Structure 1
Amino acid sequence: MNATVDRSNVLKLYPALAGLPAARLAELIRPEAVMHLPAGTQVFAEHQPCQGFPLLIDGSIKVVKLAASGRELMLYRVAPGGSCIISSSCLLGHSDYNARGIAETPLTLLALPVASFATLMVEHAPFRDFVFHLFADRIGELMQLVEEVAFSRLDQRLAKLILARNADSLSVTHQQLADELGSVREIVSRLLKGFAAQGLVSLAREQLTVTDRAGLQKLAAP
Structure 2
Amino acid sequence: MHETLWKLHFPEFIASNDKVIKQLMDAAIMVTLPARQQVFYPGKICDNYLLILSGSVKAQIMSTDGREILLYHVLAGDSCVLTTSCLLGNNNYPAEGYTETEVSAFAIPAHIFHRCLEQSTFFREFVFRNFSQRLADVIKRMESISFGSVEQKLAKALLASGEKTLHKTHNELALELGSAREVVSRHLKRFESYGWLSLSRGAISNINFDALHKISHFNDQS
TM-score under structure 2 length normalisation = 0.89
**Cα drift, residue 178 of structure 1:** 0.8
Residue deviations 1:160-216, cap 9 Å, x none?
112222332222211111111111011100010111112221101122114312222
Quick one: distance in 2 between partners of 1:210 and 1:152?
24
1:188 is matched by which residue type in structure 2?
V
The one of 34, 46, 50 equivalent to 1:54 is 50
Q: Is the 8 A contact 2:61 2:96 kept in 1?
A: yes
1:24 is matched by which residue type in structure 2?
Q
Closer, same or farther: CA 122–210 of 1 in aligned 2, 3 Å: farther
Match of 2:13 in 1: 17
Q: Is the 8 A contact 2:55 2:104 kept in 1?
A: yes
Check if 1:28 corresponds to 2:27: yes
Q: Is the 8 A contact 2:55 2:102 kept in 1?
A: yes
Quick one: distance in 2 between partners of 1:34 and 1:157?
38
Quick one: distance in 2 between partners of 1:38 and 1:72?
21
Check if 1:133 corresponds to 2:129: yes
Closer, same or farther: CA 83–23 of 1 in aligned 2, 3 Å: closer
SS at structure 2 position matched to 1:77: strand
SS at structure 2 position matched to 1:57: strand
Residue deviations 1:102-127, cap 9 Å, x none?
11111111111001110121111122
Quick one: distance in 2 between partners of 1:198 and 1:72?
29
SS at structure 2 position matched to 1:215: helix
Closer, same or farther: CA 45–210 of 1 in aligned 2, 3 Å: farther
CA RMSD of aligned residues (A): 1.9
Quick one: distance in 2 between partners of 1:25 and 1:97?
23
Match of 1:39 in 2: 35
Match of 2:142 in 1: 146
Quick one: distance in 2 between partners of 1:38 and 1:102?
10
**Cα drift, residue 16 of structure 1:** 4.4
Quick one: distance in 1 between partners of 2:216 and 2:5?
37
Count of matched residue pairs: 215
Closer, same or farther: CA 127–210 of 1 in aligned 2, 3 Å: farther
Match of 2:177 in 1: 181
Q: Is the 8 A contact 2:56 2:103 kept in 1?
A: yes
**Cα drift, residue 23 of structure 1:** 5.3
Q: Is the 8 A contact 1:16 1:127 kept in 2?
A: no
The one of 200, 213, 216 equivalent to 1:220 is 216
Structure 2 unaligned blocks of 5 or more: none
1:108 is matched by which residue type in structure 2?
S
SS at structure 2 position matched to 1:169: coil
Quick one: distance in 2 between partners of 1:43 and 1:206?
26
Match of 2:165 in 1: 169
Closer, same or farther: CA 191–17 of 1 in aligned 2, 3 Å: same
Q: Is the 8 A contact 1:17 1:25 kept in 2?
A: no
Structure 1 unaligned blocks of 5 or more: none
